[in-house]
Amino acid sequence: MQNSSIKILLDPIEKIVINRKHAEILKDLIGDQIIDIVFYMPINFIFSSHCVKWEELSDKMNAILKVKIKSHFKNYRVKSSPYIITAIFDNKTINLIFFSKYTGYLKKVFPINSEILINGKVDIFNKKYQISHPEIISYEASNNTIFRKVIYRQKGGVKSNSIERIILNTLKIVPNLEEWNEDLKNYLEFLPSWRDSINSIHRPDSLEMFKKDSVYFNRLAYDEMLANQISLEIIRTNFLKKSSNAYIKSKKQDLLSFCKTLPYKLTKDQSNAIKEILNDLDSDKMMLRLLQGDVGSGKTIVSLITSLFVLKSNFQVAIMVPTELLAKQHYKVATNLFKLAKINIACLVSSTKNKNEEYRKISNGYYSLIIGTHALIQEKLKFKNLGYVIIDEQHRFGVNQRLKMRNKGKNVDMLLLSATPIPRTILLTTLGDINVSKIQSKPFKSSVSTILKSVRNIDEVMSYLEVYVSRNKKVFWVCPMIDNNTDSERSNVEDRFKELKKRFKSIGILHGRMEPEAKESILEDFKSGQINLLISTVVIEVGIDIPSATVIVIEQPEYFGLAQIHQLRGRVGRSDNDGVCILLYKDNLSEMAIKRLNILKNSTDGFEIAEQDFKIRGGGEVLGKRQFGEENYIFFDIDIHHKFVGVAALEAKKLIKQDPKLLSARGQKLIKLLYIFKKHKAINMISAG
């Protein structure tokens, strides 16, 4: 379905990159199509003024100068001294400075008495003008009053200048595509064409044109978001129009009977969520629903209970989670929950032994509930009759991974779980217009109080913990790093463990580099009481349910997002005993950092915290980069372009409703847009019906 006008953009980069070595490097690091080169954005621009008089020079300016080389000097007695070339500009002396071990080439490049046009940043040192590492430019630049230098991030040894040359050659063949935007015209003063926008970002006449809120960036950001929303809407519509599996309706009553046998009473929110999910499963359309809840609200139990309806109808259920630790935690919960239900449950992770035997038992239907990590989307894993997929921590998985999981069965219903409440704008950005169930109330009556403490009071905190530990109570202590190899400013679990070991005996350490068996062993020791103080990274953020843990210390919370801290705080107060969260911050925090920590101190509502964090820091930081799953946006920045999300979502919904197969003239133009932003897999769903 490729259109000839965009075919050149979808061709391999070898068509434009002649140097085979460069082509291989760029394929690995940028992408293998010409469009990937077009979308490789500069990281900076330097605009230099062409000066002819001494009086035009000023400190810190970027300037083009025509100079005459006078002399070369290097003080070999002092190793750290620079190589100095003395030059004449407007009959006055200016020094050209080079800090490098390799300076032998400079006499050839800057021969004495030669006149050379140079570009560089002017500095004042010892009351004299100098330029460090100037570059020689062609005399063609002398015809312009402003000289523009584009800076690209170097890739695998391919330097910025080489990348710039490749991109300039590529821009010459970029087609002038027909306009596909309609609604965007109402939001921009004028709408530059797609090609003009691309050219303006690579070759701007001013820094204003390169800013992310420029009309050119706005246009491209909207294009990217529109492509994203159209693909999401196609997927959503494709789900909704397909018939669901025929589950046995009488099994709904069995499910309600099962709920009455639970050793605890479900909350009102949990019961409502179960009803909403069951109504979807019992309808004649495939389900695509998001279940989001606050920390400790009981999302896992809700998803497992709804899976029983499908399991009892003789279909398989798969639960995919991002980590081995979480998979094993869910496996234990499911095994305990369904111990009388005669359901064979498998846990499939990277460390699973006899995988081929497990694959066989899944494919022949012996296992009906399969819990696992990315291992579930392996090509060789076949299900007998997969009917229901539950994806936990859905933000860790991209659209393609979710589709792969869905394609493991026929007419698969899908439930996405979010461990963190998602603000509406981010929800639209990542999942489109999706049905949502919310769980806000919690099954236990305890509360968690949050205390802010400066690191200066760490001895006071330790004394407080000694009292707790002496009463056999359990404490988490979280640090942002594993060790101090990468960032000495941040506290790390290894150093903190050594310090705390001097005062505490029953102490353990947990982090992501440990083998799965070692992690499990440490957590079991913590649960059983052999360890009362556990020093950990954020590996405990989700899926760790130890009701007897009552205190958590989060060291240097300024390095975490609010939602992440809220998740960590949710590791305590998970029983009838109240919890305490101590945020041990560094001194000299910014006003914003203090404001953020006070939000946590004053609220335990995850939905409110997520919205507050979105307002303060913007969507790009609310849940960290991982919130966007596989999505790596090129132009779209949620902090700057969030106003476009709702507009693009509405436009996509209206478009697919009116033209579901994109057969109209505008639909054909938008197909080009989907190809350009690599969302064309959605078109295959249209073709497949």
* 8 A C-beta contact, residue 197 and residue 219: yes
**Residue 351's pLDDT is what?**
84
Helices (H), 56-192: 106-109, 160-171
Which amino acid would we find at residue 284?
D
CB count within 10 Å of CB 616 equals 14
CB count within 10 Å of CB 659 equals 15
- How distant is the alpha carbon of residue 414 from its chain centre? 22
**Residue 629's pLDDT is what?**
39
Residue 486 in tokens:
């990468």
Which amino acid would we find at residue 51?
C
Instruction: Write the CA distances from 415 to 273, 317, 578, integer angstroms.
Output: 11, 11, 32
DSSP secondary structure of 547-560: TTEEEEEEESGGGS
Residue 29 in tokens:
């690091």
On the CB side of 614, CA atoms within 13 Å amount to: 18
Residue 229 neighbours by CB under 8 Å, 6+ apart: 428, 432, 645, 648, 649, 651, 652
Residue 627 in tokens:
């919130």
* 8 A C-beta contact, residue 305 and residue 274: yes
* 8 A C-beta contact, residue 580 and residue 553: no
**Residue 344's pLDDT is what?**
95
User: What confidence tens digit (pLDDT) does each residue in 647-667 have?
Assistant: 998 999 999 999 989 999 999
Instruction: Write the CA distances from 501 to 462, 528, 535, integer angstroms.
Output: 11, 19, 10
- Nearest-Å Rg of the Cα atoms of the chain is 30
What is residue 12's DSSP assignment? B
**Residue 542's pLDDT is what?**
73
- The Cα–Cα gap between 387 and 243 comes to 12
308 closest CA partner among 241, 357, 232, 248 = 248
- The Cα–Cα gap between 4 and 6 comes to 5
Question: Cβ-count burial of 382 within 10 angstroms (0-12 exposed, 13-18 middle, 19+ buried)?
Answer: middle
- The Cα–Cα gap between 531 and 543 comes to 19
* 8 A C-beta contact, residue 556 and residue 479: yes
**Residue 372's pLDDT is what?**
94
Q: Which H helix or E strand runs over 148?
A: strand 146-151
* 8 A C-beta contact, residue 62 and residue 56: no
- The Cα–Cα gap between 451 and 584 comes to 9
* 8 A C-beta contact, residue 162 and residue 63: no
48 closest CA partner among 146, 151, 150 = 146
Question: Cβ-count burial of 357 within 10 angstroms (0-12 exposed, 13-18 middle, 19+ buried)?
Answer: exposed
135 closest CA partner among 160, 154, 118 = 118
Question: Sign of torsion, CA 265 270 272 274?
Answer: negative
Question: Sign of torsion, CA 453 578 552 297?
Answer: negative
Residues of the chain with pLDDT under 70: 1-4, 139-146, 241, 423-433, 485-488, 543, 614-631, 684-689
Q: Which H helix or E strand runs over 644?
A: helix 643-658
381 closest CA partner among 349, 351, 411 = 349
What is residue 191's DSSP assignment? -
First to last CA, the chain: 15
Classify each residue of 27-39 as buried b or exposed e, where b means 16 or more C-beta atoms within 10 Å of its C-beta.
beebbebbbbbbb
* 8 A C-beta contact, residue 480 and residue 517: no
Question: Cβ-count burial of 192 within 10 angstroms (0-12 exposed, 13-18 middle, 19+ buried)?
Answer: middle
Pairing of the two strands 115-125 and 128-132: antiparallel
* 8 A C-beta contact, residue 233 and residue 661: no
Angle between helices 643-658 and 215-241 (to 10 degrees): 50
**Residue 216's pLDDT is what?**
94
The angle at the Cα of 354, spanning 348 to 360, to the nearest 5 degrees, equals 75
* 8 A C-beta contact, residue 443 and residue 462: no
Helices (H), 529-642: 562-569, 591-602, 606-617, 619-622, 638-641
Q: What domains does the chain contain, in order, with CATH numbers?
A: 44-151 (2.40.50.140), 243-439 (3.40.50.300), 448-604 (3.40.50.300)
- The Cα–Cα gap between 145 and 15 comes to 35
Question: Cβ-count burial of 62 within 10 angstroms (0-12 exposed, 13-18 middle, 19+ buried)?
Answer: middle
- The Cα–Cα gap between 673 and 427 comes to 22
